[in-house]
Amino acid sequence: MPGSNEPDKYESIKGVLALDGYLDPFKDELLYRRGLADKWNQKFDEAEGGILNFAGSYKTYGLHCADDNSVIYTEYAPNAIAASLIGEFNNWSHDSHVMTKDAFGKFTITVPPLSNGKCAIPHDTRVKILLTLPSGEKVARLPVWIRRCTAPPDWYDNRNYEARFWNPPKDQVYQFKNPRPKEPQSLKIYEAHVGISTPEPRIGTYLEFAKNVLPRIKELGYNTVQLMSIMEHAYYASFGYQITSFFAISSRFGTPEELKELIDTAHGLGIRVLLDIVHSHASKNVDDGLNMFDGTDYYLFHSGGRGNHDQWDSRLFNYGNYETLRFLLSNLRFYLEEYQFDGFRFDGVTSMLYLHHGLGEGFSGDYNEYMNSHAAVDKEAISYLMLANDLCAKLGEVEQTSFTTVAEDVSGYPTLCCLRKQGGVGFDFRLSMSIPDMWIKVIKHLQDDDWNMGNIVHTLTNRRYGEKCIAYAESHDQALVGDKTLAFWLMDKEMYTNMSVTTELTPVIDRGIALHKMIRLITHALGGEAYLNFEGNEFGHPEWLDFPRVGNGDSYHYARRQFNLIDDDLLRYKFLYKFDCAMNATEAKYGWLNYPPAYVSLKHEGDKVIVFERHNLLFVFNFHPTNSFADYRVGVDKPGRYRIILNSDRTELGGHGRIDESKSEFFTTDFPWNNRRNFVQVYIPSRTAIVLALDE
């Protein structure tokens, strides 16, 4: 017999229990996991004045110039027995600037200004901390909270990055001019990498991106840009996933002030900016990373095997450690406040969620895999992710904005995208990572006649109720060398010879352009509550992405995006680009993202036709390679007159112009069809998608 107080016991998770009845057997475990985060919040309230103050530690840890031009340096290094601040400013002297250690393992020093009142540590000069270990060994490390690191002049002989004290004169500090854009009704993300965003085989810059790429993103109709590889990583070919200095932004693209200008420029265009944040692991580098910082393998990390990710060759954070939480939560607040980012895409969430890091796991969907108290789940990591979302929500209230959080999770962990107040982890969206895998399998392994409409629809619609997903047909993963983009799978070598409008349209290119448009549109409209595209994929970029490394002779030839191809009016890439513009513009005007899931009324295997309705719009896709259908009957719920608002067969979009839209009016017949109350009859050419709107 349950006690009289039992209903109150589950009050904090009743939201997720109401959303998903299958969670009921695991309510005690859900309560326990939520309780871990709630206890941390209580501890922060008692010891730090709340999570916001706790995450504001970036304002005191690290090197800071005070109003009187003295420099205050604070560093946590509990295993060290002594420390000194060394650098160009004191000729790397080991003894002139000795730091003081407190009982909690923090070292501090205040460097007074020079006699002329100027800062004793010149702007952008090199610094290090010299630690004395219990063995007597002295080790020089980069300050953990340093905000700028650069490659040494002798990069090819010495690959260790150098820390610099970033303290520009006040008149050179970038001042933000534009307010943050409001959270869009429909989230459309352009995933981008600053360094590759130039047609030339070199590293692009923040300012070049602001000038050349942001206007394209605006023209394409994306309202959010997700910047990858921003956090400093000594190894360029890691694609930004082997972070060495978490508070420093990649110097290979420019300075901190120039990144601020990029973000401010985006805001001026009405584009929000997300940071691809890497809190799932860290570089194993010792000399210019966090690894073994104070001589221990457990500095911010787990010790031993649990602290190493063998497949990624990286270190794993200890999310149950107080100072690790200070470091990571402060890192989030730092980027939101100092750089005015509008949220985060959390990388490697699957690795964080599970002790096995998702390696070799199929994730059948059995709730015991996620919610059983004995499941291989890292509950401390889940607690950290809850705290991260708490921080974003609380800071959003203070800033009178909303910060977007996205989880990269392939496992389908339940409640990941449910509100914290409901008992969830608190993310706004998760990436639908199964969709691009499905498209590659369909294109790679099946002839067009064998495409299974039911399987395509199932993959696009198979998501947890009440938890928002970001759909995408392909991302940076498919663009990287070793994989292939959709355009490459569809058109392969003919992209180099037959993409000119002055040459005959070949069957391969004709098919590729048609299916590329259809795949993007059905993914956009059916696959989730938001949409993502990786830069270049919108126009079928003809080459893979490969960063300079030993294996390719340190070549930048494939570490670029050839935007010049869409500016060439004689090339067919312009058609794919224009279709992306038209698709996003149609969604912006009529809306289908972030609305309740579509109702799919037809999945006809013989005709290769898919029909569905979403937010008062009617979508008809004919994937048949040869058959066009006149007066094709499709069900629709609302009666009235329908007209075409998007047609992938338009000539200006690379189609054949087989539909005369000036004469395309479709009136409903009051007769049930495919479980809808009415039907219309449409002409739907082969390999064509049309979107119709009720003319109200």
Q: Which residues have a catalytic role annotated?
A: 347, 408
Q: Which residues contact 365 (CB under 8 A, 6 or more apart)?
A: 412
Residue 353, class by beta-carbon neighbours within 10 Å (0-12 exposed, 13-18 middle, 19+ buried)? buried
Say how many C-beta atoms besides its own lie within 10 A of residue 139's C-beta: 17
Residue 94, class by beta-carbon neighbours within 10 Å (0-12 exposed, 13-18 middle, 19+ buried)? middle
Token pair, residue 418, equals 């449910």
| Cβ atoms 256, 166 nearer than 8 A | yes
| Cβ atoms 539, 495 nearer than 8 A | no
First-to-last C-alpha distance (Å) of the chain: 57
Question: Hey, which bits of 202-289 come out as E strands?
Answer: 224-228, 231-232, 245-249, 272-277, 282-283
Order the strands of the 609-614 sheet from edge to edge.
599-604, 609-614, 617-622, 688-694, 641-647, 665-667
Longest dimension (CA), the chain: 90
| Cβ atoms 99, 84 nearer than 8 A | yes
Instruction: Name all contacts of 316-322 with Cβ < 8 Å and 24+ positions apart.
Output: 316/280, 316/281, 316/282, 317/279, 317/281, 317/282, 318/380, 319/352, 319/378, 319/380, 319/381, 319/383, 319/384, 320/380, 320/383
CA torsion 472-181-197-315 (nearest 10°) is -70
